[in-house]
Structure 1
Amino acid sequence: MTTTLTEAACRVLLAADPAEKCRLTRDFAEDWRAGRISELGATRPPDRPARPERPQLLPFKEMPRRSYGGDRGRVSLIHALAHIELNAIDLGWDIVARFVGQDLPREFHDDWVRVAVDEARHFEMLEDLLASLGARYGDLPAHDGLWQAAEKTADDLMARLAVVPMTLEARGLDTTPATMDKLSRNGDTLTPPVLDVIYNDEIHHVAAGVRWFSFLAERRGEDGEAAFHATMAKHYPAGLKAPFNHQARAMAGYPRDWYEKLAR
């Protein structure tokens, strides 16, 4: 029986089968909400989560270019997004377990457990879209960039928040509306509604990143903007890619000066 939240997190991280990973995520999140799991514990997460035998992982530069036209293009795009969401489930649980010793309030853990549940739902929605096209997750190669970002921020919670929700997920807010528009113009009526659900959920994920980055900066007696810029200078020295979706970022409580000054 799983008795602590970090033990639950590690069981999800060590589940190689995506369906099992999603099922455990929902079950443990409900146990945490209901108080059946009440202690954080101190179980250390693995360096890397378990993964199924497929998809094959390639260097980012070797990945085929995405297409938006026809069923083949849709499968390529949806598969890439499903791979991101599977990694995102693990990132939600990893942040719970990896940084457990930092005297964080319960609300911090509530937020990232909720994020993991959202990501599991997103993965399953995308898997259903793949099935409707006669495909499945693992049919195409994928890259390991998202987990590499996790590895590079494994020793610094503020860096993890700045890089994952505040940069990588925020970039999704910038690009998803254009993706939905392209798909709709190509006659796709099924994928854009799923991407719209993901888009709106990820506003809340970015908001959680901003909220807890600001919390940690204030606790350290640092200015939030200055701390963010110092962190980004280390991890994104070339700056951030524009244009930005200012409306969605504002809904996430993301101060415009924080990111816009870093535009390249």
Structure 2
Amino acid sequence: MPETSPSLSAAIRAVMLTPDPQAKVMGTRALVRAFRAGHLAFTFETAMPDMPARPEQPVLLPPNAMPKRGRGGSERGRLALIHALCHIEFVAIDLALDAAGRFGAERGQGFVADWLSVAADEAMHYALLARRLRTLGSHYGALPAHDGLWDAARETAHDVAARLAVVPMVLEARGLDVTPQTIERFLAVGDATTARILQRIVDDEVRHVRFGTSHFAKICEERGKQAPQFWKELVTQHFRGSVKPPFNDSARRSAGLSCEMMAALA
């Protein structure tokens, strides 16, 4: 009998349930290579976990229990900021994997290809920041991190439109707004290396947000919805924070968030 290819959904779940950060990075890269090479059966019989596995460190705290980290001017503040960004990228790996595994059967090959490519990017971003922490004498897990990032996935697990509206189109889009100022902060203290890493991240995130807006537009067309109003409805229902200016208008436009979209939301 011919051997059957491993299931894509089972492979995604296995990476999501890998707690060690370096092993998760390597597993993500291997998963994406296998998918692109056609070595995984495009099947979705395996459910995604409600919560990905997490390493013992960092200690995860509620957002309101996190210690203040300052604005990045001191060495301690810089390390805390890099650590926080590293944690965001680590969780973003699982956010992208979950989107591919949870909604892939419904949305098809192109959707899965896009979100697995995002997962590979997030794994690379995490690895760059984790290496930077080690160069500066620290490591990922040395400080606590907040446990609120997965709430968006839990809140939108029932609907792909809600997932796209909140994760790429709000959370990642917020990175487009704030990262340029963060880059300037690192440059101001002479840390050009971290600034270059963050520039790479924000450049990639324009593409990630564009994936979100383009797939959201397709869903709106299928459901007979007006994208600006539907986005506002979903964000109001499923996002606990607020979306408010200042916005990085040029980056948001490049990512497909038009002035009409932003006016509806803001």
**Aligned letter for 1:91?**
L
Matched, 1:189 2:182: no
CA distance in 2 between partners of 1:10 and 1:2 (Å): 16
CA distance in 2 between partners of 1:136 and 1:110 (Å): 31
Residues 47 and 155 (structure 1 numbering): CA distance in 2 closer, same or farther, change over 3 Å? same
Checking the alignment, whether the CA contact within 8 Å between 1:42 and 1:100 is kept in structure 2 is no
Match of 2:20 in 1: 17
Q: CA RMSD of the aligned region, Å?
A: 1.5
CA distance in 1 between partners of 2:89 and 2:213 (Å): 20
CA distance in 2 between partners of 1:181 and 1:174 (Å): 13
TM-score of the superposed pair, with normalisation by structure 2 = 0.94
Shift of 1:239: 4.4
**Aligned letter for 2:200?**
V
Matched, 1:73 2:77: yes
Match of 1:234 in 2: 237
Q: Render the CA deviation track for 1:133-166: whole Å, top value 9, x for unaligned.
A: 1111111000011101111111111111111100
Deviates more, 1:187-196 or 1:117-126: 187-196
Match of 1:254 in 2: 257
Match of 1:90 in 2: 94
CA distance in 1 between partners of 2:173 and 2:94 (Å): 18
Match of 1:225 in 2: 228
Q: Render the CA deviation track for 1:18-71: whole Å, top value 9, x for unaligned.
A: 011000100110111111114233210110000000111111111122331232
Match of 2:126 in 1: 123
For 1:155, what is the secondary structure of its paired residue?
coil
Shift of 1:235: 2.6
Q: Which runs of 5+ in 2 are unaligned?
A: none
Match of 1:202 in 2: 205
CA distance in 1 between partners of 2:65 and 2:244 (Å): 21
Checking the alignment, whether the CA contact within 8 Å between 2:186 and 2:194 is kept in structure 1 is yes
Shift of 1:238: 7.0
Matched, 1:212 2:215: yes
Matched, 1:29 2:32: yes
Residues 119 and 237 (structure 1 numbering): CA distance in 2 closer, same or farther, change over 3 Å? closer
**Aligned letter for 1:152?**
E
**Aligned letter for 1:241?**
K
**Counterpart selection for 1:171 from 167, 170, 174:** 174
Shift of 1:105: 2.7
Residues 21 and 234 (structure 1 numbering): CA distance in 2 closer, same or farther, change over 3 Å? same
Matched, 1:105 2:108: yes
Match of 2:140 in 1: 137
Shift of 1:81: 0.5
Residues 174 and 54 (structure 1 numbering): CA distance in 2 closer, same or farther, change over 3 Å? same
CA distance in 2 between partners of 1:152 and 1:237 (Å): 10
Matched, 1:58 2:68: no
Match of 1:152 in 2: 155
Checking the alignment, whether the CA contact within 8 Å between 1:54 and 1:139 is kept in structure 2 is yes
Checking the alignment, whether the CA contact within 8 Å between 1:25 and 1:117 is kept in structure 2 is yes
CA distance in 2 between partners of 1:177 and 1:238 (Å): 21
Identity %: 45
For 1:146, what is the secondary structure of its paired residue?
coil
**Aligned letter for 2:122?**
E
CA distance in 1 between partners of 2:233 and 2:197 (Å): 36
CA distance in 2 between partners of 1:128 and 1:64 (Å): 23
CA distance in 1 between partners of 2:246 and 2:176 (Å): 11
Checking the alignment, whether the CA contact within 8 Å between 1:89 and 1:116 is kept in structure 2 is yes
CA distance in 1 between partners of 2:261 and 2:73 (Å): 36
Residues 203 and 238 (structure 1 numbering): CA distance in 2 closer, same or farther, change over 3 Å? closer
Moved over 3 A (4+): 236-239
